[in-house]
Structure 1
């Protein structure tokens, strides 16, 4: 007879090859058809909420690898929370205002914003932003990110802008908003003020000059033939010099060198001698900085004085200890200048060109003026030395051009007004990693007031009016409520489309003078104020969400960005942080740890990875890395991830193949009838479940990845499935032992599919369709299983753990024998073991060692019986591998001398003969 008919051959229609680039879009189309997000939310409605609030990416360009890392991490959290007993809605969002979009319209679309008019220009900006919202939305969906994609939040939407106006109004009501003339980061290339979060540091080559300021009134301490020496790397700021700052407690020396009498800090004399190449110098006298307060020096090329003032900001870190002070071009300069009543001179316009307040340099671009100013200093004899240095310098993060400090009238949020509340709120938040708390604390403790105004048109207008009769600034509850209401109906375009009177409540009069004529503020809000208001505009606006959020998850650059601005607006308006937990991730690097850049040619584009390998491979990579630090990715790394994916997929496929005839409602076998191996595997599966659930809870996805990978390849494939496959093939379908093993395999399969679902959702749902007896059509509509402690048996687990160690050693001996061609398949082997006492006692506790070692014969011998040669030394025992004696059973492949004892089955072993006669007699010809 054909004995193949008596074997339970594995069979499944689940494909061996993932073919993810083609199959994933089909699965996503099915999700769309099923409206899987709505189904999940319907299933979890009424559970405790878990809100991960999405930090909005900027609607400009295609998504990059950083976006993919961020969105996949969020998706894994939301999916795992939905399967862990929570209602976890996910509302994605986009940041849509600001300079980059203006730049794109001007540069790419060739639009002159001054010619088309504000309303038309804003319309073009909105169209551009919404186009990229749709573009990025498609790419995020291709990643498999599940969310309310039909109803995202977008910062240009009227309801969002209306809430943002309310946030601004509440801060103004509490006295936190003010207008002031202060030096701020200014981008000449973008013609607007910038926030600290919009600054990045790059190397820049700058002039380094030492300049003499001749003493005019030395207060009887310094002679007029003496000069005070300053050092600066920004010669262009010298036209704005109004003072020289000294530290009150530092010692300053008057020295004679090369015919000059100079004043410098005593502690920098040796450094300056090298830098200025003095052969020698003579110290004439030493005085304290405070003794020179309010002395005066002559400006080196203008007919005005520079006041000697005192400042704690002066150090001996560099320079001369005498600090050139221009209150219009530096924060420290401004503050110390305010103490002495100095003007805030800013002779540079919006585009970075000198005004007529800098005689001799009018119309010149500030950077180009460096050379002219240096030449003027040289002509006047004031220049001691000119050289060039390369140093880290602030740049506009969008235009990549250097920025300047420039005093302008701006709107500010007074951080001083609620700094203590901010610091207290930070302590209430859980920080992952823990250093995030220190990082944000220090930023808040050290930061100046927040410049929230921008001189642009593509943004949310600052909702302030001015009375043209008495010139007061007007912002009241009534004006804020009215503007917010108008914006909710018509959007912020109404600010530009309507006259001031139309934007004010009917019959409104100036609270100060009773006037009825008004004009509108022309500045817009910093885009960080836009996104920083999302906790109010989204969490409090959307019914399915709640405030505060459970989690904000973004890149580590957002400590100075969205984490910071969100905290500021929330604490200022509500008195607490808008988030309970902050989780941050690092940046993506290439395989060698380098930053990705087009110039290096080392960029990896998510779309290409998905087209070539599939989204689940990219997602599996995200799960594999310790994302709280910077992470590496390369073609080779992705190849390794693909191999891991293949192993997991093949393991699941093998299990599916052995469950083809298993009906979980009818064929389950109770644990009391399980073999010890079955029981042991369920213990290990429960250990796996415990580790994975805890890892999900702690956002340790690399532990989820490694735990499941190791379980699939080691405990499941190399142990349980390896040992059980012969039983599964050869036992009849009615066998209790076979059904017990299938029961365990079914439980482990459904467990693993659920546990991997947040990470590789396409594959999980694909597998789920082939799992027998499933009651719902998507694994996303299930919960994680919970650890069942009734399975635990410490004694049995310890016994089998020890056996596995011995088995691993024995497998080494079999592999060695195979390499030396002593045996072929392991079933052709006879294993002679000579264990030490401990190993012997262990092995004697096991029946059917042949099945556990997958050989045809196992004999245990006394250690002293060990032959002089031929044994392999292993841990705890010696082994000899020989070819098994006898013939090979046609059905189970075991080699035994007992083949053919039944003349009706001359090629079968006794066990197979019994099985065939008992269960397959009807097949006998």
Structure 2
């Protein structure tokens, strides 16, 4: 869907006369490719012995192979582009561009390193960006209420509760769904403006005095299953601001820790007291960093506890055994008040489909906060399709404070950082990075892992400063890779410098958190402008039941099965590329769309109608040449009306293509095919085309109009069904004064203002309405078996010649009317004329004019040549056919 939509954009712009530059490209780095490359190695048990250089070699080979496979598919769908010069993010040229952009951001102060919580995937052993998360709505955690003994009240509170609350029985009560973070607790946060209560509880081993938010007292009673009034007693209330400064004892380590103020605390859940682990939560980190409380995160890359955790937790997985051991330890310490299973939404690694954690590690960040307002302001000049994308992209951009750009993988672009061996301090200055990029330009980024000597990467000015440096092996987030792709367009010759670098970005709705945003931020940071002028967002493909396509569900429909057919051609016929492309264009692509066998079969039927319509026009133009064109002022009135309809069609379909509303364009084309052409104009002109003398002027008039219709029809179809359009053009290009080698060299739709005639539109609207009313009377005669075809009928119309509709009908030549209504004869009478026929009907036309319609079988006979009932005797030619054959 994505590739074909892009191609429709490009082919339409090509027809409009634009020079189109589409250089396809692939994001080649990242965990999925590395994991896929290692799949076979892992089965053989060799992964542990592989060096980073070998992993990179395997991943590169896998990526290049997949690119070639995908390229063949994309080209088979008739996607035009510079395929011989397609870019890959793994090439030296691309990587150097990316590193130079990174260098620019360093110089402007956007890149920094910090120890703080980041999204960490134990299953991937790497930091993740927010855009790499998906949320499991059915994740089950163990939620616990834990009491922390109060050791010392804050000065303001000590006097207030001196004789009211027994401090030796006083506890701060917290609630958490991550028991594994309790060992990392460094504080308890309270909201300064909330009211907190000290409540005495007499309830078995849960007895004591608890500090709980006043707004959560009822929930607290429910959690402890307190039903009797005498089991609980309110001792006093206090503001959160007075609680701040109180000290408590950690139940597992006996360390003394503070209660602090936190604006992030709410009364929506829990107890209004928040267990705060700055090593495992961003809000926790921000609240603690203001007070100089350092993050503590005793977990390794695999999510296992380290030695610092103590309590015998070392080596235990935090999410499983570690979680259980922490709960057991709290139970033994008498600190566990309540435990239960809790189902809630939880972030997962979108690749491994396993839960992630927030974990404090030293990572490289891009400071997005300083770019947000400028980026959102710049978006106002971008055209968004659909328009609601604007709000969505703005929200995602504004909600992002920073961007963790470092990853702990081998397969990627290295972050060019050196570290002091003694202090661990990072060296990432302008001179150092510039030197490293120069080395990469000479030796490639693989040298970062392949060279033995760190000193190669140390810039001359740092060689003799008494420090020893080593390389860091973090790689860049793949969103930084893709977010750099706009640099590939910087050097296009003759490009208007006032325009955005790219006219159009087109991708799926998930890219509001990904490529759309990373491209925007890197461009704003280095150029101050958006990289795109128009941003088009499409949805995802679902099966016919509206379910996500999945191999496990067996509901995936592979494009090649549509285009080339499956093993069983009866069950899965080969529809060809144009049917696949027509399906894409027929979709409301800005939403999720359905695809399946019955849908494709319907699209194939639509394509059959299009081809049949084109074949009718081509067949009737077999002896026509541009020298046979009849001047506009010599055409019949119905031909003028058809050209007016064509003028309107060309305008409407142009508007649809210009606004990227391709499904609307296809609807217009199908409506034009079915209603304007097949059911109206073709019916009316068949007699002229088939039965007049070949060179007869009236026949040439119809061919003239058909020729114009065919050109517009082919052009409007060509961005979508390009093979069919080329095939049609191949069959009529010899009729044109200047034949081209391709329909895509002929230009876009002609909008000849001479064709525009709104007065004819009103007139023919009446005649078409009258035709519909007459068809109803004819149907009555057919049902009564008086008529087999409309040609056997004579029709009388009684209508007031002074009415607007009457003026139109009375002004028409009766032979034109019989041609329009496909009848043997038509007689028009003024109002109050008495008519007696077998079938009659009274009708009210759109302007309110009443008329009466009568019909009967004609006394004329069928002409064996033209099949019209206009012969005076059976088995004899009608006067017109006699004249044609005599000639």
TM-score normalised over the length of structure 2 = 0.91
Show the counterpart of 2:489: 539
Q: Secondary structure at the match of 2:308?
A: coil
Shift of the alpha carbon at 1:866?
5.0
How far apart, CA to CA, are the structure 2 residues paired with 1:483 and 1:811?
82
Contact 1:226 1:262 (8 Å CA) reproduced: yes
1:144 aligned residue (71, 75, 78): 78
Distance 2:646 2:38 in 1: 60
Aligned equivalent of 2:104 = 170
- Equivalence for 2:126: 192
| CA RMSD, 1 decimal | 2.1
Distance in 2 between residues matched to 1:897 and 1:452, nearest whole Å = 86
Q: In 2 relative to 1, CA 846–500 (structure 1 residues): closer, same or farther, beyond 3 Å?
A: farther
**Residues 165 and 701 (structure 1), Cα distance of their counterparts in 2 relative to 1, 3 Å cut:** same
- The answer on 1:420 being equivalent to 2:367 is no
- Structure 1 distance, partners of 2:703, 2:839, is 40
Q: Which residue of 2 aligns with 1:773?
A: 735
Distance across 1 between alignment mates of 2:48 and 2:105: 33
Secondary structure of the 1:350 match is coil
Task: After superposing the two structures, state which structure 1 stretch, 769-778 or 726-735, moved more.
Answer: 769-778
- Residue 362 (1) aligns with residue 314 (2): yes
Any conservation in 2 of the 1:539–1:545 contact (CA below 8 Å)? no
Q: Which residue of 1 aligns with 2:787?
A: 823
Q: Unmatched 5+ residue regions in structure 1?
A: 1-68, 901-905, 920-925
Other-structure match for 1:270: 218
Mark the CA change 1:627 to 1:647 in structure 2 (over 3 Å): closer, same or farther.
same
- Once the two structures are superposed, residues 551-605 of structure 1 have per-residue CA deviations (whole angstroms, 9 ceiling, x without a partner) of 1111111111001111111111111111122121122223333333334443322
1:351 aligned to 2:302? yes
Name the structure, 1 or 2, with higher relative contact order (CA <8 Å, separation 6+).
1
| Alpha-carbon offset, residue 879 of structure 1 | 2.9
Please say if residues 242 and 305 of structure 1, whose CA atoms lie closer than 8 Å, have aligned partners that are also in contact: no
Deviation at 1:517, TM superposition (A): 4.2
Paired residues for 1:40-51 under 5 Å: none
Q: Is the alpha carbon distance of 1:545 and 1:150 closer, same or farther for their aligned partners in structure 2, counting shifts above 3 Å?
A: farther
Pairwise mapping of residues 392-411 of structure 1 onto structure 2 (< 5 A)? Answer: 392-411=345-364
Given candidates 874, 879, 884, the residue that maps to 2:858 is: 884
Comparing 398-407 with 461-470, greater Cα deviation is found at: 461-470
Deviations 1:460-496 (A, max 9, x none): 0001223447755333444434433443454321222
1:916 aligns with 2:885: yes
* 2:757 matched residue in structure 1: 793
Moved more, 251-260 or 307-316: 251-260
CA contact (8 A) 2:187 2:260 kept: yes
1:863, 1:275 → 2: CA distance?
87
2:401 is matched with which residue: 448, 468, 480? 448
Shift of 1:867: 4.7
Whole-angstrom distance in 1 between the partners of 2:466 and 2:495? 44
Query: What is the rounded CA distance, in whole Å, between the counterparts of 1:255 and 1:867 in structure 2?
Result: 100
Deviations 1:615-644 (A, max 9, x none): 211211221222122222232222222221
Change (3 A) 1:213 1:448: same
| Distance in 1, Cα, partners of 2:25 & 2:820 | 55
Contact 2:454-2:471 at 8 Å conserved across structures = no
State which of 108, 115, 119 in structure 2 corresponds to 1:181. 115
Distance 1:70 1:239, change over 3 A: same
Aligned residue in 2 for 1:90? 22
Aligned equivalents of 1:679, 1:555: Cα separation in 2: 45
The reply on whether 1:122 has 2:61 as its aligned counterpart is no
Aligned counterpart, 2:384: 431
TM-score by length of 1: 0.88
Where does structure 2 lack aligned partners over 5 or more consecutive residues? 565-573, 846-850
- 2:475 corresponding residue in structure 1: 524
1:852 counterpart residue number: 820
1:587 corresponds to which residue? Answer: 540
Partner of 1:428, secondary structure, is coil
Partner residue, 1:206: 141
Q: Determine the structure 2 residue equivalent to 1:894.
A: 868
Q: Would the aligned equivalents of 1:806 and 1:875 in 2 still touch at CA under 8 Å?
A: no
Paired residues for 1:211-250 under 5 Å: 211-219=146-154, 220=158, 221=161, 223-250=167-194
- Name the CA shift for 1:595/1:801 in 2 (closer, same or farther; >3 Å): same
- In the alignment of these two chains, the number of paired residues is 841
Question: 2: CA distance between counterparts of 1:816 and 1:93?
Answer: 63
- The answer to whether structure 1 residue 155 and structure 2 residue 78 are counterparts is no
Task: Return the alpha-carbon distance in structure 1 between the equivalents of residues 870 and 714 of structure 2.
Answer: 40
Matched residues in 2 for 1:518 and 1:289: separation?
Answer: 49
The ranges of structure 1 where at least 4 consecutive aligned residues each deviate by more than 6 angstroms after the TM superposition are none
Q: What is the distance in 2 between the residues matched to 1:391 and 1:470?
A: 42
Give matches, 1:758-769, under 5 Å.
758-769=719-730
* 2:596 counterpart (621, 625, 634): 634
Deviation at 1:187, TM superposition (A): 0.3
CA-to-aligned-CA distance 1:350-386 (integer Å, 9 cap, x gap):
0011111111211111111222222222222221211
Equivalent residue runs for 1:692-703 within 5 Å: 692-703=653-664
Alignment partner, residue 132 of structure 1: 66
Q: For residue 862 of structure 1, report the CA deviation from its aligned partner.
A: 5.1
Cα separation, 2, equivalents of 1:93 and 1:305: 57
State the alpha-carbon separation in 2 of the partners of residues 470 and 232 from structure 1: 37
Please name the residue that 1:312 is paired with: 263
Change beyond 3 A, Cα 1:885–1:503: farther
What is the alpha-carbon distance in structure 2 between the residues aligned to residue 450 and residue 155 of structure 1? 20
CA distance in 1, matches of 2:408, 2:780: 76
The Cα of 1:502 is off from its aligned counterpart by: 6.5
> Within 2, Cα distance between the matches of 1:362 and 1:480?
38
Report the equivalent of 2:774: 810
1:670–1:336: structure 2 CA closer, same or farther, 3 Å change rule?
Answer: same
Q: Is the 8 A contact 1:419 1:445 kept in 2?
A: yes
CA distance in 2, matches of 1:690, 1:681: 14
Q: 1:793 to 1:427 in 2, by over 3 A?
A: closer
Aligned with 2:643: secondary structure? helix
1:283 to 234, 241, 250: 234
Asked if 2 retains the 8 angstrom alpha-carbon contact of 1:198 and 1:396, the reply is yes
CA 1:793–1:542: 2 relative to 1, 3 Å: closer
* Alpha-carbon distance in structure 1 between the residues aligned to 2:659 and 2:519: 24
CA drift of 1:501 comes to: 5.4
Q: Secondary structure at the match of 1:150?
A: helix
Candidates 525, 541, 549, aligned match of 2:502: 549
Structure 1 distance, partners of 2:115, 2:344, is: 29
CA, structure 1 residues 683+515, in 2 after alignment: closer, same or farther (shift >3 Å)? farther
Give the structure 2 partner of residue 53 of structure 1.
Answer: none
Are 2:30 and 2:411, in contact at CA under 8 Å, matched by a contact in 1?
Answer: yes
Quote the offset at 1:861 in angstroms.
4.1
Measure how far apart 1:125 and its partner are: 0.4
Name the CA shift for 1:373/1:676 in 2 (closer, same or farther; >3 Å): same
Equivalent position to 1:721, from 665, 682, 695: 682
Partner of 2:570: none
Deviates further, 306-315 or 474-483: 474-483
3-state SS of 1:764 partner? helix
Q: Distance in 1 between matches of 2:681 and 2:296?
A: 80
Instruction: For residue 871 of structure 1, give the secondary structure of its aligned residue in structure 2.
Output: strand
Match of 1:388 among 306, 319, 341: 341
Q: CA deviation at 1:743?
A: 1.1
Q: What SS does structure 2 have at the residue aligned with 1:411?
A: strand
Match of 1:840 among 798, 806, 811: 806
- Rounded to whole Å, the distance in 2 between the matches of 1:897 and 1:426 is 72
